[in-house]
A and B are shown apart, each in its own frame.
Chain A
Amino acid sequence: MNIFRLTGDLSHLAAIIILLLKIWKSRSCAGISGKSQILFALVFTTRYLDLFTSFISLYNTCMKLIYIGCAYATVYLIYAKFRATYDGNHDSFRVEFLVVPVGGLSVLINHDFSPLEILWTFSIYLESVAILPQLFMISKTGEAETITTHYLFCLGLYRALYLFNWIWRFYFEGFFDMIAIVAGVVQTVLYCDFFYLYVTKVLKGKKLSLPA
């Protein structure tokens, strides 16, 4: 555990909590892609199956359970409790174009051809692109609520911090996991355009709106 890893995890946790609170307090999931949230629930489910097979630490177990629990709570709020506010017309990204290739890739390129390892690889690949339906939705509507941009910033920052964590671990522990690193770089790059808008607009007190 190093400072980048810890702050990365906390940034991830902050993102998840921000989204849950935003939906809960405003009693609305307008502007939120339910498809991205389903993908994240799928990501956590397939990645944390090792909860059943091995114990790493209390921190590890608690965080995994919190992430999974919050992911399903978010999906429940969007598709059940506040379904009336869900903007399905704008959430039109075709997720099969992500899930099918990612599934194929995880079978082809993995560390070990075993069910649990393939599912872990699937989750790593899927996480790297799971935000695309959300970004697609924002590009379609041309705007995002400020609180939604805070959520996206924390979510993007988390994987960027993990990149520093992997650099740290490579130098000080000789550890590296090429699958996680490549997927992590892809994931972070997908946020770059958003990071730019966040810094130049949202942090200067303006609403995030895209030119028509």
Chain B
Amino acid sequence: GIDCQGGSRMCCRQEFFVDFREIGWHDWIIQPEGYAMNFCTGQCPLHVAGMPGIAASFHTAVLNLLKANTATGTAGGGSCCVPTARRPLSLLYYDRDSNIVKTDIPDMVVEACGCS
């Protein structure tokens, strides 16, 4: 997958860091200091549909372009820019009884995006 830069219009991963101090949550979340709420955005034209990440080979892209242009009518449904790799978010925080709680929330951080 690729990270969004400048005016990139193709499917890419947009990094977005939430600083817990900025939102006033640093008093109850002990670790980490923030959450990388990255998200996927951008277009998925047909010739890159089904790519695990836009960085797939040029050869595949040309083949798919030919397929897409020769296919009669448009293939069913569009292709969407979705997460293709994610990792857990480990949190250490106080609950309402001031207990210290440690947990790993699965699939919370998007690491890569691609076209469905």
Whether both chains belong to one complex is answered with no
